[in-house]
Amino acid sequence: MIRHVVAWKVAATEPAEAAAAAAEITRLLASLTSLVPSISSLTVGPNMAYFESNWDVVLVADFETLADLDAYQVHPSHQAVVPQIKALVSQRAAVDFEL
């Protein structure tokens, strides 16, 4: 099992705009669960505490194999949300590890 963890800092600095951006990223990524068959599980959500130091949104997704993670990365539904997310963020960090 491969766990894919990604965190984003949104580009918006005004609190209401940042919250809206985080909500949109969450909505876009949550929609992939029913569209990408290689996802075993996917949890995504906006940060809810320590806003001055925490990242704004996190995704935790599990895949049976590295090939399944690779299939997710190139899946058309994932590729469709990538530019939308990139337009809302200033930073991205990711880690993939074996469970």
Instruction: Locate the domains of the chain by residue range.
Output: 2-98
Distance from C-alpha of 96 to C-alpha of 94, rounded to nearest angstrom:
7
How would you classify residue 90: left for phi > 0, otherwise alpha for psi between -120 and 50, otherwise beta?
Answer: alpha
Among 71, 72, 57, residue whose Cα is nearest residue 9? 57
**pLDDT tens string 21-57:** 999 999 999 999 999 999 999 999 999 999 889 999 9
The reported pTM is 0.94
- pLDDT bracket for residue 1 (50, 70, 90): very high
94 SS3 class: strand
Q: Check if the beta carbon of residue 3 is closer than 8 Å to that of residue 96.
A: yes
**Would you identify the CATH topology of the domain 2-98?**
Alpha-Beta Plaits (3.30.70)
27 SS3 class: helix
